[in-house]
């Protein structure tokens, strides 16, 4: 991350903070990011990590993705069509399965994948005679 882009982002963040308007300390309270760090970010001495960006996005009135793009973490987003269907591969997910899973919280959806991979690995071991 070069020095110029640090400064650029810093300037943007500072302008936005002043527009609210907020002091560094107030922004600290809203974001749980230390004011010393915020100050350094604003004058380009530090570059905010993703988690810091996430914490300050809303208090400054940014969309998360917007800030990530400004920081160069995300490539410029084609607005609107954000998540254009990511080709559901060659095979198909059965609509019924999709519908039922969609009712579950995302953690559960992911946990299901975990289960599946565990089962596959066990099955693989059995097949190789290694037993469990």
Partner DNA sequence: AGTATAATTTGCCATTTGGCAAATGTCAAG
Partner DNA sequence: CTTGACATTTGCCAAATGGCAAATTATACT
**Total residues in contact with a copy of itself, by rule CB under 8 A:** 58
Of 91 and 128, CB closest to DNA: 128
Give min distance, CB of 117 to a copy of itself, in A. 6
In the block, residue with structure tokens 């917007």: 66
Nearest to 14 by CA among 32, 39, 49: 39
Q: Is 127 in the site for a copy of itself (CB under 8 A)?
A: no
Give the binding site for DNA (CB under 7 A). 1, 23-26, 32-37, 39-43, 45-49, 51-52
- Tell me the closest approach of the beta carbon of residue 97 to a copy of itself, in angstroms: 4
121 CB-near residues (< 8 Å, 6+ apart): none
Judge contact between 58 and 33, C-beta under 8 A: no
Q: Identify the residue whose tokens are 């975990």.
A: 114
Site residues (CB under 8 A) for a copy of itself?
Answer: 1, 8, 11-12, 15, 49-51, 54, 63-66, 68, 71, 73-106, 108-110, 112-117
């Amino acid at each position: 991350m070069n020095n110029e882009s640090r400064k650029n982002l810093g300037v943007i963040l500072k302008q936005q903070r002043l527009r609210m308007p907020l002091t560094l300390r107030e922004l600290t309270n809203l974001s749980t990011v230390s004011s010393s760090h915020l100050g350094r970010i604003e004058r380009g001495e530090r570059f905010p990590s993703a988690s810091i960006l996430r914490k300050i996005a809303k208090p400054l009135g940014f969309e998360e993705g917007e800030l990530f793009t400004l920081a160069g973490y995300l490539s410029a987003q084609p607005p609107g069509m954000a998540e254009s269907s990511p080709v559901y591969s060659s095979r198909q997910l059965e609509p019924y399965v999709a519908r039922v899973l969609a009712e579950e919280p995302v953690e559960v959806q992911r946990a299901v994948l975990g289960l599946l991979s565990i089962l596959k690995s066990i099955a693989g071991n059995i097949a190789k005679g290694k037993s469990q």
